[in-house]
A and B are shown apart, each in its own frame.
Chain A
Amino acid sequence: MCDAKLSLREVSSAYIHNGRILPVLDTISMQVKEGEFVSLLGPSGSGKSTLLKIIAGLIKPDAGSVFLNGKELKGTIVKMGYMPQKDLLLPWKPLLYNAALPLLAQGTGKKEAYNKVRELLPVFGLEGFENSYPSQLSGGMRQRAALLRTVLIDSEVMLLDEPFGALDALTRERLQEWMLKIWDHFKRSVIFVTHSIDEAIYLSDRIYMISELPGKIVLEQAINLPRPRARDIVLSPLFTEYKQNLMTALANETTWGNS
């Protein structure tokens, strides 16, 4: 665990729902290494979002601890490149301000912050849209803008919660390829939450599969596909093998009617 950027030790969490205790996460332990792309794969409602919020310090775990660079985070909000499921762009601000928000929040001057955003706009395919309001942008552009904002949060770990979940299949594939380029460009550790097996394999170095509620890690799968990855890698035998593995694990874990 010595070279782990971020690690979780036996994190558990529960909600109280209608007077009943509803366990959400069950003794989750995991690590992310420096510059590693790790996916959390699991069915909807398996507590993945809760886990990200715990890492970001927005929710306190009921048990267990989170370590960043070997230091325990004691439930305080840590500056993290957190990107929630919704793009959460401010509808009342143009793209430039939205993307510059993390810098402005840190007290950077407006001019300097905007210049930094302008430099990055081409990387995110958003040049010419800096003065557009979120309502004028397409779904894909909004996600890219949200990702640009996330990148500008000055932290070594990025927590991405199903960033492409609401997009159509084609846009989604294009953004996945582009996501890999961005990751290569910024070299940050990433925790990527998804419920798509293909997306997880295509993007990740490692996948943790989480079960239905209460979320438990049921499988840890290293993905040894070569990088950089072209789109047709999804047709390779190794890719199919990983997919088979994960699908079987998922099927075994899906126990509707048993509980």
Chain B
Amino acid sequence: MKKWGNTGANLPPLVFLVLLIAIWEVTGRAFNIPDHILPAPSSIGKALLNNMPLLWLHTKMTITAASVGLVLAVFVALVLSVLMNRVKMIKRVFYPLLVISQTVPIIALIPIMIIWFGFGLLPKILVVTLVCFFPLSVNLTEGLENVDNELIDLLKVMKAGPWRIFKSVQMPSVLPYFFSGLKISATYSVMGAVIAEWLGARAGLGIYMTRAMHSYSYSSFFAAIFIVVLLSMSLFKFTELLAWLSMPWNRIKEE
């Protein structure tokens, strides 16, 4: 990660992607593949343009659920991992629960959430939080465990207070762990929101997709998928940008 947004390095994957889409388009036309089997990129594009206002309405809901859920997950993960790091008993009690929370099939949990909290935004946010806090907590816990104790000892001999020790030793050494967790969670967040909406919502890309499917409008369905991919990728890239901005010392190493 030498420079942010290095165009030279981004070019080959971009060219490859364009090539794939071109092959898709050409084979679609050559073999006359009907829309309900696999719509061609051009008809997906048309659907995207024609349904823009409606799609944007649903996209806004998904963005809200995904981002609020993700921010909430960051808070939950931070509090949990700091507590688990400070008090070993809490770790012993909570860590197995964390793992169990991830073994419950999320798809089975969503109807229960809908019964409890209705068709609004809240159950979606909770599902996103539930999906996203786990990779963050696991990474943060590991990061806090790997902080160099000798560095902490050194600051203690300088008579540094706990805040100084946290700010100049613990926080920076945990940052890389935090961001690798956040990258996973960021990609999960949009997917979590879409799955939650799929099973019942007033608005959102998930419910839009089920409706498109039921009305045999496959190009609209694919248009929604395209937006989901775009959202996830933007969030991922945004996380990378944050990491790049907050760890300037990592940029220097590779120069």
The answer for the CA separation of A121 and B169 in the assembled complex, in Å, is 24
Q: Which of B154-162, B190-198, B200-208 contacts A (4 or more CB under 8 A)?
A: B154-162
The answer for the CA separation of A106 and B157 in the assembled complex, in Å, is 11
Given contacts A58-B157, A105-B164, A153-B158, are A88 and B151 in contact (CB under 8 A)? yes
Q: Are B153 and A58 in contact (CB under 8 A)?
A: yes
Interface string of A115-149 (1 = CB under 8 A from B): 00000000000000000010110000000000000
A77 within 8 A of B: yes
The answer for the CA separation of A95 and B23 in the assembled complex, in Å, is 54
B244 to chain A, nearest CB (A): 14
A85 to chain B, nearest CB (A): 9
Question: When the two chains form the complex, which single residue of B157, B164, B252, B253 contacts A79, counting CB atoms closer than 8 Å?
Answer: B157
Q: Are B159 and A90 in contact (CB under 8 A)?
A: no
Chain B residues touching A, range: 20 to 34
Chain B residues near A86: list those with CB within 8 A.
150
The answer for the CA separation of A58 and B149 in the assembled complex, in Å, is 11
Interface string of B149-191 (1 = CB under 8 A from A): 0110111111111001000110011010000000000000000
Q: Are A153 and B157 in contact (CB under 8 A)?
A: yes
Question: When the two chains form the complex, which single residue of B156, B158, B172, B249 contacts A101, counting CB atoms closer than 8 Å?
Answer: B158
B112 within 8 A of A: no
Q: Are A77 and B156 in contact (CB under 8 A)?
A: yes
Q: Are B168 and A101 in contact (CB under 8 A)?
A: yes
Q: Are B247 and A82 in contact (CB under 8 A)?
A: no
Q: Are B150 and A91 in contact (CB under 8 A)?
A: no
Q: Are A90 and B169 in contact (CB under 8 A)?
A: yes
Q: Are A105 and B158 in contact (CB under 8 A)?
A: yes
Given contacts A58-B153, A82-B154, A88-B151, are A105 and B249 in contact (CB under 8 A)? no
A102 within 8 A of B: yes
Nearest A residue to B149, CB-CB: A58
Interface string of A79-112 (1 = CB under 8 A from B): 1101010101011110001000110111000000
Q: Are B156 and A90 in contact (CB under 8 A)?
A: no
The answer for the CA separation of A97 and B155 in the assembled complex, in Å, is 13
A21 to chain B, nearest CB (A): 23
Chain A residues near B151: list those with CB within 8 A.
88, 90
B111 to chain A, nearest CB (A): 46
Q: Are B158 and A88 in contact (CB under 8 A)?
A: no
Nearest B residue to A56, CB-CB: B157
A interface secondary structure, majority: loop
The answer for the CA separation of A97 and B168 in the assembled complex, in Å, is 10
Nearest B residue to A82, CB-CB: B157
Q: Which of B156, B157, B161 has the most chain A CB within a 10 Å cutoff?
A: B157
B169 to chain A, nearest CB (A): 7
Q: Are A84 and B150 in contact (CB under 8 A)?
A: yes
The answer for the CA separation of A88 and B169 in the assembled complex, in Å, is 11
Nearest A residue to B175, CB-CB: A92
Q: Are B150 and A77 in contact (CB under 8 A)?
A: no
Q: Are B150 and A92 in contact (CB under 8 A)?
A: no
Chain A residues near B253: list those with CB within 8 A.
133, 135
Nearest B residue to A106, CB-CB: B159
A159 to chain B, nearest CB (A): 9
The answer for the CA separation of A127 and B175 in the assembled complex, in Å, is 30
The answer for the CA separation of A58 and B130 in the assembled complex, in Å, is 41
Given contacts A90-B168, A92-B247, A133-B252, are A105 and B153 in contact (CB under 8 A)? no
The answer for the CA separation of A104 and B161 in the assembled complex, in Å, is 10
A87 to chain B, nearest CB (A): 10
The answer for the CA separation of A79 and B175 in the assembled complex, in Å, is 29
A249 to chain B, nearest CB (A): 31
The answer for the CA separation of A136 and B252 in the assembled complex, in Å, is 8
Chain B residues near A102: list those with CB within 8 A.
158
The answer for the CA separation of A88 and B156 in the assembled complex, in Å, is 13
Chain A residues near B247: list those with CB within 8 A.
92
Q: Are B155 and A101 in contact (CB under 8 A)?
A: yes
A252 to chain B, nearest CB (A): 34
Q: Are A91 and B164 in contact (CB under 8 A)?
A: no
A111 to chain B, nearest CB (A): 17
The answer for the CA separation of A58 and B172 in the assembled complex, in Å, is 23
Chain A residues near B168: list those with CB within 8 A.
90, 93, 97, 101
Question: When the two chains form the complex, which single residue of B159, B161, B169 contacts A77, counting CB atoms closer than 8 Å?
Answer: B159
Q: List 11 A-B contacts (CB under 8 A).
A: A77-B159, A79-B158, A80-B157, A88-B148, A92-B175, A92-B249, A93-B249, A101-B168, A105-B155, A105-B158, A105-B160
Q: A88-B148, A101-B155, A153-B157 are in contact. List 9 more A-B contacts (CB 8 A).
A: A79-B157, A92-B249, A93-B249, A101-B158, A101-B168, A102-B158, A104-B164, A105-B158, A105-B159
Please list the 5 inter-chain residue pairs (A to B) with the smallest Cβ-Cβ separation, ordered nearest first.
A105-B160, A92-B172, A105-B158, A82-B157, A92-B249
